């Protein structure tokens, strides 16, 4: 995936019409488990972009090569999703799963899958 395409995929989307398509081999998270896994941590994607979930509910996404950062606040939902309200007024929700190998995968509302680095 090109950097431009990834940037477009990560632009906040309005919280409507999400149609995530987890695979049969994907495992969903319970709300408390997902919160415990990510709150206070940073996940890194294979393009070197990073999502940081602060303990107090703040969220940042820093594009690869420090090419800009989005700021907002995250909420862990009951359906294995995390929703982010960005300070710009945009919102998005993504589905968080583990795949058959146990790798954390972020699935966007449009169905794009972004594996994270171990």
pLDDT tens-digit map of 59-91: 999 999 888 999 999 999 999 999 999 999 999
Greatest alpha-carbon span in the chain: 36
C-alpha separations of 40 from 17, 51, 72 in Å: 29, 11, 14
Q: Which of 62, 106, 46, 100 is nearest to 82 (CA)?
A: 106
d(CA 84, CA 99): 23
pLDDT, tens digit, 9 for 90 and up, residues 9-50: 444 433 444 667 899 999 999 999 999 999 999 999 999 999
d(CA 66, CA 91): 22
């Amino acid at each position: 995936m090109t950097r431009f395409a990834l940037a477009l995929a990560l632009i906040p989307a309005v919280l409507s019409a999400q149609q995530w398509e987890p695979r049969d081999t994907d495992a969903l998270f319970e709300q408390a488990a997902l919160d415990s896994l990510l709150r206070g941590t940073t996940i890194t994607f294979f393009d070197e972009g990073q999502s940081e979930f602060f303990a107090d509910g703040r969220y940042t996404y820093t594009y690869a090569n420090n090419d800009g950062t989005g700021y907002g606040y995250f909420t862990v939902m009951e359906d294995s999703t995390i929703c982010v309200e960005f300070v710009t007024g945009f919102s998005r929700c993504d589905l968080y799963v583990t795949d058959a190998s146990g790798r954390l995968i972020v699935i966007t509302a449009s169905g794009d899958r972004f594996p994270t680095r171990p």
